[in-house]
Chain A
Amino acid sequence: MNRWAFVIAAYAVALLATLALIVWSYAAMRRAEREAEALRGRE
C-alpha cells in the first residue's frame, strides 16, 4: 500500500498541473478574443 502513496502523489501533481495549464490557457484565449471582437464592433 505504501507504493500507492507515491502513485497517488504523482497522479495528483501531473493532473493538477495539466488542468491548471488548460484552464489558464483557455481563459486567456477567451479574454483576448473577446477584446479583439469588441474592438471590431466599435469601428
Chain B
Amino acid sequence: MHVFANPARFLKIARPLTPWLGWGGGVLVAFALFMGLFVAPPDYLQGDSVRIIYLHVPAAWLGMAGWAGIAVASLMQIVWRHPLAAVAARAIAVPGAVFTFICLATGSLWGRPTWGTYWQWDGRMTSMLVLLFLYVGYIALGEADRERGGEGRITAIFGLVGAINLPVIHYSVLWWRTLHQGQSIGLTGSTIAAPMLWPLLVSALGFSLLFGAIVLMRMRAMLARQKVEARLRRAAA
C-alpha cells in the first residue's frame, strides 16, 4: 500500500483507471439488470418481486464493504499516518451512505409485496438503518473537523469504532429471530438457483466497479482541492 503513499504516484494510476472502472461497471450493471428484469425466471413463491434482489444485495454489499474500507483506511491513517488514507476514507463515505440507502429503500419495496409490510424493527433492518445513521454522522463529523482545520483523527476513530456494526448486521439473522431471511450466499454454496444467481453476481461486480470509479473521482476532486488550497496559502504568505 505504501506505493500509493505519494499522491502524485497515486494520481498517475487513478487517472487512467477511473474511466475503465466507470464504463466497465456501467456496462456490467446494464447487462445484469437487463438479464435480471427480463430474462431471469420469476421466483416460485415471490413471483416477479424477486427481481429487486439484483439491486438490493449489491447495495447491501457495498454499504457494508464501504464501511469496512473506511475502517481499514482509518487504521492506516491513525497508525501509519498514511497521507492518502484520510482522503480515501472520506471519499468512501458518501457513496457508502447512498448504497446503504438504496439497500433500505429497495428492501422496503420488496418487503411490502413479499412479507406484507414496508418496515419492521427486526435485527437485520434495524442494524442496517444504524449503518445509514453512522454514515451520516461520519460525514457530518468529517466536514466539521475539516472546517476547523483538524487532521481528522476523531473522524478516523469514529470510522474504526463504527465497524463493530458490520458483524452485528451480518450475524443479526443468526443471533436473533428476525423477519429477514437467513443468508443465501455463503463460501460453500448458495440457496439461489443458478439462473438467478449469476445475474446477481454480475450485478454485484458491476456495482462494485462503479463504486470504485466514484471513490476515485471523489479522491481526485479532494486532492485537486487540497492542491489549490495549498497554492493559495502559499501565495497569501
Do chains A and B make direct contact within the complex (CB under 8 angstroms)?
Answer: yes
Binding site for B on A (CB under 8 A): 2-4, 6-7, 9-11, 13-14, 17-18, 21-22, 25-26, 28-29, 31-33, 35-36, 39, 43
Task: Assess A7 versus B51: contact at CB under 8 Å? Given A21-B94, A21-B95, A22-B22.
Answer: yes
Contact across chains for A22 and B210 when beta carbons are under 8 A apart: yes
Q: Give the dominant DSSP class at B's interface.
A: helix
Contact across chains for A10 and B106 when beta carbons are under 8 A apart: yes
Contact across chains for A9 and B109 when beta carbons are under 8 A apart: yes
List residues 218-232 of chain B with CB under 8 A from any CB of chain A.
218, 220-222, 224-225, 227-228, 231-232
Q: Using A14-B105, A32-B224 as known contacts, list a sample of 17 further A-B pairs with CB atoms less than 8 Å apart, ordered by residue number in A.
A: A3-B47, A3-B113, A6-B49, A7-B49, A9-B109, A10-B109, A11-B33, A18-B210, A25-B217, A28-B217, A28-B218, A31-B221, A33-B221, A35-B225, A36-B225, A39-B227, A39-B232
Binding site for A on B (CB under 8 A): 22, 33, 37, 46-49, 51-52, 55-56, 59, 94-95, 98, 101-102, 105-106, 109-110, 112-113, 207, 210, 213-214, 217-218, 220-222, 224-225, 227-228, 231-232
Contact across chains for A17 and B102 when beta carbons are under 8 A apart: yes
Contact across chains for A10 and B214 when beta carbons are under 8 A apart: no
Residue of B nearest to A38 (CB): B228
Task: Assess A10 versus B47: contact at CB under 8 Å? Given A21-B95, A25-B214, A39-B228.
Answer: no
Contact across chains for A18 and B224 when beta carbons are under 8 A apart: no
Q: Which residues of B contact A11 (CB under 8 A)?
A: 33, 37, 52, 55
CB distance from B47 to the nearest CB of A (A): 5
Q: Which residues of B contact A13 (CB under 8 A)?
A: 102, 105-106, 109
Number of cross-chain contacts by CB at 8 Å: 92
Contact across chains for A6 and B109 when beta carbons are under 8 A apart: yes
Contact across chains for A29 and B22 when beta carbons are under 8 A apart: no
By CB atoms of chain A within 10 A, which of B48, B109, B214 has the most?
Answer: B109
Contact across chains for A14 and B48 when beta carbons are under 8 A apart: no
Q: How far is the CA of A9 from the CA of B118 in the complex (A)?
A: 13
Q: Give the dominant DSSP class at A's interface.
A: helix
Q: Which residues of A contact B113 (CB under 8 A)?
A: 2-3, 6
Q: Which residues of A contact B222 (CB under 8 A)?
A: 32
Residue of B nearest to A9 (CB): B109
Contact across chains for A32 and B225 when beta carbons are under 8 A apart: yes
